Structure 1
Amino acid sequence: MAKQDIEITTADGTARAGLFRAPNGVTAGIILYMDAFGPRPALDGMAERLAALGYTVLVPDLFYRKAPYGPFDAKTAFSDEKTRPKLMGLLSGTTQATTIRDGEAFLDALAKHGATGPVGAVGYCMGGARALNAAAAYPDRIKAAASFHGGNLAGDNADSPHRRAAEIRASVYVGTAGVDRSFPPEQSARLAEALRAAEVDHVIENYVGMGHGWCVPDHSVYDEKGAERHWKRLETFFGEALGG
């Protein structure tokens, strides 16, 4: 699937995004919420794979307010003393609230490019919480939301997704790393209880032995077997929820 570079006008400026078109006649769309290292070839490849399943996929730059920046090497960005402060600045300056506010523009961009049917969201790392919060913020438009190695999905912060469980109408899938300090067992239990109490159709699955970041090909802990398992789950999940 060929990538089309587009620009999306938001309330705060102009966000660059990659668009990966599904075959003609397909109206289901997916927003892929990036991990902490920003849009790059690894995420493009993942978006292409989703598009090949029959979806129009949008990969927006969530750091656009701070552009230009990077690029970052996912294997070394946090350990490199030169890039770590820059990356941390981008992360601290990109809040859940700003990404939620951008959601309407992202959804409208999908519709503009033919994805006028059901929409799903999937996020990795920092994108995981954003996918769930997007489902809560736009319940009439987002029908499925997935998080893989997402952090702080049920933390103490006010913008933690579990606090908005009652607003979610989408189906939810959460794939967790076997051991992940950003999403410890107590948060998993808290998220499960919030989703259950809100009667949200959901699955929380623990990928034992996988590290935080295992799904993304250029990550230092990428695991091919675990990544393929995630793809099988994602294909079934979106297929059932979006009719893909």
Structure 2
Amino acid sequence: MTKQHLEIKTQDGTAKARLFRPAAPAKAGIILYMDIFGPRLALDQIAERLAGQGYAVLVPDLFYRSVPYGPFDPKTAFADEKTKAALSALSGGTTQDMTIRDGGAFLDALAAEGITGPVGVVGYCMGGARALNAAASYPHRIVAAASFHGGNLASDAADSPHRKAAMIKARVYVGVAGVDRSFPPEQSARLAEALRVAEVDHVIENYVGMGHGWCVEDHSAYDEAGAERHWKRLTTLFAETLG
């Protein structure tokens, strides 16, 4: 496996990204949409594991418009008022529309590296909604989209992903934390209805007992058994859609 550092030109500037490649030619490309704490070792480890299964994995910095920022410790960041405010400003200041625009540049960056076929996307935390919105916005390229402990997937906001369900051609998997204030049961029901009406091939699965962030190793809610279950679902999704 190799790791490349890329600088991706977008409509709004330059986003730094890391591209993880398998030793053999990649089967397909995957874009990993980060959680609120930004690119770091824990996300690199997820990308490396996917690269080990034959995919080229792009991990872009969605907060590139606000550099420099952080770094943040996921275990303590929300306990400190200063870092909590900084994180809220970063996530609030990086709108869904911004990340949707960036998605075209991310896909172009994969193509420039020779990854031109179907693409999968996966997002954690705030990246979950962004992965689903990417699938809706680039249906000609994105054939699989996964969200894990994604927040506000079917909120009242105008940019909520469930409103674009009819545009999604990808297979969708949503892994939900057992108790998650950012994605309560009423939103789960609303998302399920939107995807069903739009005839999107989808699964929404509730991980009972898991907290928001259970998949990511440096998060205070990390759960090893739950994380391995997430890996089984994610790798099956990509194996069946990306080959």
The 8 Å contact of residues 27 and 116 in structure 1, kept in 2 or not, is answered as no
What secondary structure, in the 3-state scheme, does the structure 1 residue paired with 2:37 have?
coil
Counterpart Cα distance in 1 of 2:22 and 2:55: 5
Q: Please, what TM-score do these two structures have when normalized by structure 1?
A: 0.98
In the alignment, which residue of structure 2 is the partner of 1:148? 148
Q: Deviations over 1:101-148 (max 9, x none)?
A: 000000011111121111000000000000000000000000000000
Q: Deviations over 1:75-117 (max 9, x none)?
A: 1111112311211111110010000000000001111112111
Counterpart Cα distance in 1 of 2:182 and 2:83: 21
Question: Which runs of no fewer than 5 residues in structure 1 stay unpaired?
Answer: none
Counterpart Cα distance in 1 of 2:135 and 2:145: 6
Q: Please, what TM-score do these two structures have when normalized by structure 2?
A: 0.98
Q: Deviations over 1:178-203 (max 9, x none)?
A: 01111111111110110000000000
- Residue identity matched to 1:186: E
In the alignment, which residue of structure 2 is the partner of 1:24? 24
Q: After TM superposition, which residue ranges in structure 1, 4 or more long, deviate above 4 angstroms?
A: none
Write the mapping of 1:48-197 to structure 2, written as runs, cut at 5 A: 48-197=48-197
Deviation for aligned residue 1:43: 0.4
Counterpart Cα distance in 1 of 2:228 and 2:27: 26
In the alignment, which residue of structure 1 is the partner of 2:219? 219
Greater shift in the superposed pair: 82-91 or 156-165: 82-91
- Residue identity matched to 1:101: R
Deviation for aligned residue 1:4: 1.3
Deviation for aligned residue 1:26: 2.2
Give the fraction of aligned pairs with identical amino acids, expressed as a percent.
77
The 8 Å contact of residues 27 and 118 in structure 1, kept in 2 or not, is answered as no
Larger strand percent: 2
How many residue pairs align between the two structures?
Answer: 243
Question: Which runs of no fewer than 5 residues in structure 2 stay unpaired?
Answer: none
In the alignment, which residue of structure 2 is the partner of 1:14? 14
Deviation for aligned residue 1:27: 4.2
Greater shift in the superposed pair: 22-31 or 133-142: 22-31
- Residue identity matched to 2:162: H
